[in-house]
């Protein structure tokens, strides 16, 4: 499903259900050490997302390679590739592109259900909440609070490789647009100075979303300069 939100240069691989990947046999040594003390659920999430990533590498003609983590836990991709991974209950996904085809990308998957009480106020701006409530009234079949949270996650994942800096929930104002009952677009207006991309300062990021099979999926791509 996630490929529906991504442009042609990007390849995506997804898996559904409960993963049965064995971290001791699937992970590379430099990956295994990162989750050596993690609980079993975290090890499986980490592993199955990287299985998707390596399958995406193969689709791009790149040999499978480890994906360790770097600053703030961001994935470190092999030379010549950029990408994003995500996981939630029953879903794992990875999206990759060659570095010449995009400047950055971010994907996120969430279960399609309301956010826990209090979370929306903690992760959103007043204007975002006003727009979210209006959308929810018009399209009650979509949990726009969860969608807004997912969009913010995708925005951050696309932002960080370019800026190498934290982006707080309050530092991007996201406007969601519902083009159909189960999908649409969004724009994130940056409220802090953005990174330079090809000599031009980034002022916002654009993304797409959909809901299907109990999931909310969002994706952001930043074109190559």
Tens-place pLDDT, residues 88-101: 998 999 999 999 99
CA distance 117 to 48: 30
> What is the model's pLDDT at position 26?
85
- CB contact at 8 A, 74 and 160: yes
- Are 118 and 209 contained in the same domain? yes
Say whether both 130 and 72 belong to one domain.
no
29-60 in b/e form (b: 16+ CB < 10 A) is eebbeebeeeeeeebbbbbbbbbbbbbbbeeb
Q: Are 188 and 117 within one domain?
A: yes
Give tens-digit pLDDT for 148-160: 999 999 999 999 9
| Low-confidence residues of the chain: pLDDT under 50 | none
* pLDDT confidence of residue 22: 65
pLDDT at 23: 66
**Is the domain of 112 the same as that of 212?**
yes
| Residues 24, 91 within the same domain | yes
Residues 117 and 189 in one domain: yes
Spatial neighbors of 216 by CB under 8 A, at least 6 apart, are 109, 110, 111, 112, 143, 146, 147, 150, 209, 210
Query: Residue 153: which domain range?
Result: 108-223
Residue 181 is predicted with a pLDDT of 85
Q: Are 62 and 70 in contact (CB under 8 A)?
A: no
Number of domains in the chain: 2
Reduced to 3 states, what is the DSSP secondary structure of residue 4?
A: helix
The residues that bridge with 100 in the sheet, in sequence order, are none
The domain boundary residue, chosen from 44, 77, 100: 100
Give the residue from 100, 118, 134 where a domain finishes.
100
CATH of the domain at 62: 3.90.470.20
């Amino acid at each position: 499903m996630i490929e529906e939100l991504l442009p042609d240069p990007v390849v995506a691989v997804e898996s559904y259900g409960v993963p049965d990947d064995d971290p001791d046999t699937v992970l590379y040594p430099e990956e295994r050490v990162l989750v050596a003390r993690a609980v079993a659920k975290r090890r499986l999430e980490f592993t199955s997302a990287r299985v998707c990533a390596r399958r995406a590498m193969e689709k791009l003609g790149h040999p499978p390679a480890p994906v360790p983590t770097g600053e703030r836990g961001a994935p470190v991709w092999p030379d010549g590739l950029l990408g994003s991974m995500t996981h939630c209950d029953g879903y794992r996904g990875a999206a990759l592109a060659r570095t010449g085809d995009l400047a950055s990308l971010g994907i996120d998957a969430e279960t399609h259900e309301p956010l826990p009480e209090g979370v929306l106020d903690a992760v959103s701006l007043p204007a975002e909440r006003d727009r979210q409530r209006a959308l929810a009234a018009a399209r009650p079949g979509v949990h726009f609070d969860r969608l807004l949270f997912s969009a913010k996650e995708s925005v951050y994942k696309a932002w960080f490789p370019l800026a190498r800096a934290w982006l707080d929930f309050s530092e991007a104002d996201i406007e969601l647009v519902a083009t159909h009952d189960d999908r649409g677009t969004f724009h994130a207006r940056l409220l802090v100075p953005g990174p330079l991309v090809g000599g031009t300062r980034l002022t916002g990021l654009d993304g797409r979303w959909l809901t299907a099979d109990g999931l909310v999926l969002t994706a952001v791509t930043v074109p190559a300069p």
